[in-house]
Structure 1
Amino acid sequence: MNPYKVVLFDLDGTLSDPKAGITKSVQYALEKMNKAVPDEEKLESFIGPPLHVSFSEYCGFDEWHTQTAINYYRERFKRAGMYENELYEGIPHLLHTLNNQRFKLVVATSKPTVFAEKILKYFAIDHYFELIVGSQLDGSRSSKAEIIQFILDCFPDCELDEFVMIGDREHDLIGANQIGIDSIAVTYGYGSFDELMACHPTYLAESVAGVKNVLIVDPSKQEY
C-alpha cells in the first residue's frame, strides 16, 4: 500500500514548461536595467529558484537592483509571460488519476501564489489541487522549505512520512530534505541529473509516467 496521502508538486519544470515566458521576462528586465541580454538558452537557470536568488547570483545585483529587476520582470510576466507556458504531456491525466486514487494534491512553488493560481486556472487544472502555495509578492515565504512547512501545517492530521515532494530542481529536494519528507526528482525538467542526484531524492522519475509508476503502480520502484 502506498504510504503517501499528500503529494506536493512543484510548478515550473514539473507540471509545466515555462521556459519562453520566464526567459523572455528576464530578458525584458535585463534590458530595462541596461544589462547585456543573453539568449534564452543561457537563462534557463532562472527556471525554478526564487527570482531574488537568480538575479543576485546570475547578475551580481545587490538587494536594491535585485528588487528593481524583479519588478521589471513581473511587469512583463503578468502581462504575457505567465501564458507563454505549456503543460508537460500527460499531466492532466496524471492529476485526474491521482484524484481518483484519493491523493490530496498541493502545488508547492517558489513562484508568487497569485501567479501560480492564474497559471493553473489558465490550464484548467486548478480544480485538482486542494491548496496552491507559493511565495508572497514581498519576497517572504520564498524558500521551498518554508513553503513545504506551511503546507504541512495545513494537514495536522498527517505524519511526515505521508507527504512527498515532486520537483525538477535542487531547491525542491533540499526543501524536502530539510523538512524531513520524501521526494521524487523528475529529470524531464530543468535540473541536471548530477544536480538532482547530489540531493539524494527518494525516487527518480524520467517522465510523467514515471511519477505515476512511483505513486501508483509500484511505490517501491526507483527509476535510477
Structure 2
Amino acid sequence: MTPMHKTIVFDLDGTLVDSLPDIIASFQYSLMSLGLPVPTDTEVRVLIGHPLEEMFEHFAPGQDVTRLCSIYREHYPRNFVNRSRPFPGVLELLRTLRERGYKLAIATTKRTDMARRFVEALGMMPMVDHVQGTDGFPHKPAPDVIHRALGALGGAKGLWMVGDTTADMQAGRAAGLRTYGVTWGNHDAALLATATPDEIQPDLGQLLQHLPPLPRA
C-alpha cells in the first residue's frame, strides 16, 4: 500500500501573504461605489476571514449584497497585488518543507478560482501542491475546506494547520490536525490563545522545528 503523503495545510491571507491592505481597499471601494457608508480599515480588518457576503451584510444591512460582492470580485483581482506580498521568510519556508518531503496545501475562505489566481500572481503556485478555496460548503471554523484540500491530494495525512485566526485553529483541530497560530496576521496572540493552538508564534520559523526531513522512499 502506498503511504499517505504527509501534508501541511496553510491559510492564505494573513498567514502566508500580507494581503490585508488590498483586501480592505477593495472592500471599501465596493461600498463607496454604491454610495454607502465606508468603514475604517480597523473595522473591516476585524471581520476579514469571514465570507464576503457576511462582511457586506454586516456593514450594509438591507443593501444589495450580491451586487456588492460582484463589484468586489471585479475590482480585487485587478488590484490584489498592489501591496500584497508574502511575509518575510515564507517562500524559503515553503521551499524547505518541499525539500524535506512534505506536501503543502492552502485552505482559504477565498473562492477557489480567486485564490488560485492570487497565488499564481504572487508566483507561489510552483511551491504548493494544492490550493483549495471555499465554494458552497461550510467555511472555517468548520473543517470542510481542510478535508477538501487533503482529499484533493489523494487523502493525504494532514499534520499541521497553520493560520492567523481563531477560525483557522478551530478548523484545524476539528480536522484532527495540530495547530500553529502566527501573530503577524489578523489575530494577535491573546485572541489566538482563546482557541488553544498547539503553537503561537510571531512568525513561521518555529514550524520547521516540528518538521524534520522525511525518510526517502
TM-score category of the 2 structures, normalised to the smaller one = 0.7 to 0.9
Q: CA deviation at 1:11?
A: 0.5
| Native 8 Å contact 2:161 2:177 kept in 1 | yes
The 2-side partners of 1:141 and 1:157 are apart by 19
Q: 1:203 aligns with which of 183, 199, 202?
A: 199
Q: Give deviations 1:121-170, integer Å, cap 9, x for gaps.
A: 2222211111110023xxx13503221121233345545xx431100011
- Give yes or no for contact 2:109–2:134 (8 Å, CA) kept in 1: yes
- State how far apart, in whole Å, the 2-side matches of 1:142 and 1:123 are: 27
Q: Does 1:69 align with 2:65?
A: no
8 Å CA contact 2:81–2:121 kept in 1: the answer is no
C-alpha distance 142-21 of structure 1, shift in aligned 2 (>3 A): farther
Q: How does 1:179-190 map to 2 (within 5 A)?
A: 179-190=175-186
Q: What residue number does 1:221 align with?
A: none
Structure 1 Cα separation of the partners of residues 211 and 181 of structure 2: 13
Aligned residue runs from structure 1 range 1-224, under 5 A: 5-57=6-58, 59=59, 61-62=61-62, 65-136=64-135, 140-141=136-137, 143-144=139-140, 145-155=143-153, 158-159=156-157, 162-216=158-212
**Separation in 2, partners of 1:143, 1:205:** 24
Structure 2 Cα separation of the partners of residues 197 and 55 of structure 1 = 28
C-alpha distance 54-13 of structure 1, shift in aligned 2 (>3 A): same
Q: What secondary structure is seen at the aligned counterpart in 2 of 1:183?
A: strand
1: CA distance between counterparts of 2:89 and 2:25?
A: 26
- Aligned-pair CA distance for 1:117: 1.3
Give the secondary-structure state (helix, strand or coil) at the position aligned to 1:189.
coil
Where in structure 1 are there 5+ consecutive unaligned residues? 218-224
Contact kept? 2:80, 2:118, Cα under 8 Å? no
- Residue 167 of structure 1 aligns with an amino acid whose one-letter code is G
Give the % identical residues.
Answer: 25
Q: Is the 8 A contact 1:13 1:48 kept in 2?
A: no
- TM score, norm. by length of structure 2: 0.85
Q: Distance in 1 between matches of 2:207 and 2:184?
A: 11
- Number of aligned pairs? 207
Q: TM-score, normalised by structure 1?
A: 0.83
Root-mean-square deviation (CA, aligned residues, Å) is: 2.2
Q: CA deviation at 1:65?
A: 2.8
